[in-house]
């Protein structure tokens, strides 16, 4: 019989690392607590990136873009267009030009999304960014990852944005099956990790992914999580993870 989680659509079937839900939850909590010790940011102020609108626009710019480019372009954008009203009434071509000049990829779509999203927020939401995933994903350019980023880093709400680092590390650590989509990874993580810890997961895994659990050549020998990690024990491989997600 296949063990089911409390989440009706999740099962343990596609994991390469075998353990029951209770063991997996226990290990998930140990992993998150260890990550929190390794990369501490305990206060709300250390987690928030800025007010929700800034976080939302920054997230649109950041898609498939390096952090340094995102920072530079966001600063340049907000210097010229300091708030929602300014961006809602801006010409799309001017925003596109500014993004392009600052090295941002997908500048055509992003320029359009930024102006459209700002108009919608002003007209339909009275100038406020909604604080629910369901409403956020209705905005142009905002998928689940960005919506969760706005919730966690703009509002300080419990959410787990699954970016490339969270996706890879969760699979190496056997917290999600190796071939599932980022959306599915989010479901596994929110099932396995207690809600009061969700907000720490993204920032800690991003730091871990940049410093130790790098995409190529993870430094497993010096990783404090190695005893908890099926990848380190050869039970999940890079090939397992690279195959196409569903
Ligand atoms: S042991 Fe290796 S694969 Fe596992 S979390 Fe650490 S660096 Fe990543």
What are the tens digits of pLDDT across the range 53-81? 999 999 999 999 998 999 999 999 999 99
User: What is the predicted pLDDT for the residue at 10?
Assistant: 84
User: What is the predicted pLDDT for the residue at 131?
Assistant: 96
Is this model's pTM higher than 0.85 or not? Answer: yes
Residue to mutate, 165, 168, 169, 236, ligand 1, most ligand atoms under 8 Å from C-beta = 169
Decide if pLDDT at 51 tops 50: yes
Our answer on whether the CB atom of 231 is closer than 6 Å to any ligand 1 atom is yes
Q: Is 59 annotated as a binding residue?
A: no
- Collapsed DSSP state (helix, strand, coil) of residue 165: helix
Our answer on whether the CB atom of 213 is closer than 6 Å to any ligand 1 atom is yes
User: What is the predicted pLDDT for the residue at 126?
Assistant: 96
Handedness of CA 7, 8, 13, 19 (dihedral sign): positive
Q: Which atom of ligand 1 is nearest to the CA of 229?
A: 4
User: What is the predicted pLDDT for the residue at 246?
Assistant: 45
Decide if pLDDT at 202 tops 70: yes
Cβ-defined contacts of 143-147 (< 8 Å, 24+): 144/182, 144/183, 144/186, 145/59, 145/182, 146/56, 146/59, 146/60, 146/63
Query: Where do the domains of the chain lie, and which CATH numbers do they carry?
Result: 21-42+160-242 (1.10.1670.10), 49-154 (1.10.340.30)
Q: Which of 25, 28, 5 is nearest to 201 (CA)?
A: 28
User: What is the predicted pLDDT for the residue at 2?
Assistant: 41
Decide if pLDDT at 170 tops 50: yes
User: What is the predicted pLDDT for the residue at 13?
Assistant: 82
Phi, psi of 34 (to 5 degrees): -65, -45
User: What is the predicted pLDDT for the residue at 40?
Assistant: 87
| pLDDT tens digits for range 81-101 | 999 999 999 999 999 999 999
CA of 88 to the centre of ligand 1 (A): 44
| pLDDT tens digits for range 103-132 | 999 999 999 999 999 999 999 999 999 999
Q: What is the CA radius of gyration of the chain?
A: 19
């Amino acid at each position: 019989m296949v063990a089911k989680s409390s989440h009706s659509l999740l099962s343990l079937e596609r994991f390469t690392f075998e353990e029951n839900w209770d063991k997996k939850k226990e290990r998930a909590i140990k992993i998150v607590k260890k990550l929190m010790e390794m990369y501490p940011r305990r206060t709300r102020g250390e987690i928030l990136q800025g007010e929700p609108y800034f976080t939302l626009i920054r997230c649109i710019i950041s898609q498939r873009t390096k952090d340094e480019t995102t920072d530079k372009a966001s600063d340049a954008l907000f210097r010229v267009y300091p708030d929602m009203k300014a961006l809602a009434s801006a010409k799309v071509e001017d925003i596109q030009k500014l993004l392009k000049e600052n090295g941002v990829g997908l500048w055509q779509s992003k320029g359009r999304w930024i102006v459209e999203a700002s108009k919608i927020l002003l007209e339909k939401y009275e100038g406020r960014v909604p604080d629910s995933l369901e409403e956020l994903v209705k905005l142009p350019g905002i998928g689940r990852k960005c919506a969760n980023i706005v919730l966690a880093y703009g509002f300080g709400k419990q959410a787990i944005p699954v970016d490339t680092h969270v996706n890879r590390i969760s699979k190496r650590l056997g917290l999600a099956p190796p071939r599932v989509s980022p959306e599915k990874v989010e479901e596994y993580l929110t099932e396995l990790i207690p809600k009061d810890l969700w907000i720490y997961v993204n920032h800690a895994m991003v730091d871990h992914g940049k410093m130790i659990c790098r995409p190529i050549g993870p430094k497993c020998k010096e990783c404090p999580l190695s005893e908890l990690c099926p990848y380190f024990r050869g039970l999940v491989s890079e090939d397992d993870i690279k195959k196409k997600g569903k």
